[in-house]
Amino acid sequence: MQIYADNAATTKIAKPVIDAMAACMEEVYGNPSSLHSEGQRAAEVLAGAREITARSLGAEPKEIIFTSGGSEADNQAIRSAALWGKKQGKIHLISTAFEHHAVLHTLEQLEREGFTVTLLPVYEDGIVRAEDVRRALREDTALVSVMFANNEIGTLQPIKEIGAVCREAGVIFHTDAVQAAGHVKIDVREMNIDMLSLSAHKFYGPKGVGALYVRKGIPLFSLIEGGAQERGKRAGTENVPGIVGMAKALSLAAEKLEENGAYEVKLRDALIEGLSGISHARLNGDRERRLPGNVNFCFEGIEGESLLLLLDAKGIEASSGSACTSGSLDPSHVLLAIGLPHEVAHGSLRLTLSPENTMEEVEYMVKEITGVVEYLRGMSPVWEDLEKGARKHVI
């Protein structure tokens, strides 16, 4: 059995998306900035895609900037809000401890450039408190950036409440919705969102294309200088086929948002139920407030990379937050942020589902994971110590 359960890393592009992109490449090769008919055809296609992208968020077309993906959208949103703040003497930025590196590393760089950054705690349940945001706000706060859903543990944040706190204080609110867009309902108006990042390859669209929503009236600066594309906010000839593919993927997602969500929740819950049968295992992140397809477990006494490799040999493709999969000596900052000790965080496993997964696959995964965890524990000196009491169980 071959099971792809790493949809938070990237998704398999949908066939109708490929068809839309192929047709676009064959039929619409013009440059949208050209005045002739071929160019104007491309401009129309681009406008249509912008309309669809905007509508999927409850936004207006002119509030959408197309980018090269989630990382660029995050970088631009944060740098732009920081720069705007600085012009008014505001140098304080608020975010959370478990953001994606596209956000965290941008903030670290701004810190080196003279900004002050407050990273809010995310608690054991992996959820930011709107009240903490309120308390962290200062006179000189230029931006609050809180992700919509976490990419590792899938927890959904109280975006509407946080947005309301920011709106009341007159502070720009950005959310990295890369994991949420196309998977859960988003309405930027209702949720008080000023800026939002999304990325097509996380919802069965193509890689290397994304969007940044910027509410009308919020100033935006460009990262990439050049031509006047994207109203001068993002230079470079538009990735028209990619953008068309993203719009198609968003339409497909919107059509089946509830149906797919309910189906994934059913699989997710069965998977959580099954893996809970393993001793000294624990689900990471809130049990209810999480993405429909996200399952993230820690198994005490084993290391994540060896778990992944053995599962891969059995046809199960997943991911882990262990140090040895990250290429650094530290396990995932997300797992540390929810309070897991290093040695437990090394034994994490993330399974992220799509509507293509089946209940049969879930049963197979539970069986194989249970077996592999047992095998690895059998050869683990850490597990031996835990079992004989020389080391204390934490979960």
* Residue 301 within binding range of another protein, rule CB under 8 A: yes
* Residue 382 within binding range of Zn ion, rule CB under 5 A: no
* Residue 381 within binding range of another protein, rule CB under 8 A: yes
| Binding map of another protein across residues 23-52, x = CB under 8 A, - = no contact | ------------------------------
Closest CB to ligand PLP among 115 and 203? 203
The residue within the footprint of ligand PLP, chosen from 50, 79, 100, 234 (CB under 6 A), is 100
* Residue 305 within binding range of another protein, rule CB under 8 A: yes
Q: 303 is in the binding site of which of another protein, Zn ion, ligand PLP, none (Cβ under 5 to 8 A by kind)? A: another protein
Closest contact distance (angstroms) between CB of 303 and another protein is: 5
For residue 209, the cross-strand partners are: none
Across the beta sheet with 294-299, the strand order is 281-283, 294-299, 348-352
Residue pair 105/135 in contact (Cβ under 8 Å)? The answer is: no
| Binding map of another protein across residues 318-357, x = CB under 8 A, - = no contact | ----xxxx-x-x-x---------xxx--x-----------
* CA R_g for the chain: 22
Strands 294-299 and 316-317: unpaired
Half-sphere exposure for 217 (CA within 13 Å, toward CB) = 5
Q: 210 is in the binding site of which of Zn ion, ligand PLP, another protein, none (Cβ under 5 to 8 A by kind)? A: ligand PLP
Closest CB to Zn ion among 295 and 323? 323
Closest CA to 349 of 275, 266, 263, 265: 275
| Binding map of Zn ion across residues 323-362, x = CB under 5 A, - = no contact | -x--------------------------------------
Q: Which stretch binds ligand PLP (CB under 6 A): 63-71, 86-94, 217-225, 287-295?
A: 63-71
Closest CB to another protein among 110 and 307? 307
Could you tell me how many residues of this chain bind another protein (CB under 8 A)? 26
Q: Which residues are catalytic?
A: 324
Q: 301 is in the binding site of which of ligand PLP, Zn ion, another protein, none (Cβ under 5 to 8 A by kind)? A: another protein
* Residue 49 within binding range of ligand PLP, rule CB under 6 A: no
Q: Which stretch binds ligand PLP (CB under 6 A): 127-135, 176-184, 318-326, 333-341?
A: 176-184
Closest CB to another protein among 268 and 377? 377
Closest CA to 220 of 288, 251, 174: 174
Query: Residues interacting with another protein, by CB under 8 A?
Result: 301-306, 309-310, 313, 322-325, 327, 329, 331, 341-343, 346, 379-384
Query: Under the rule (CB under 6 A), what is the footprint of ligand PLP?
Result: 69-71, 74, 100, 102, 147, 151, 176, 178-179, 199, 210
Q: Which residues bind Zn ion (CB under 5 A)?
A: 324
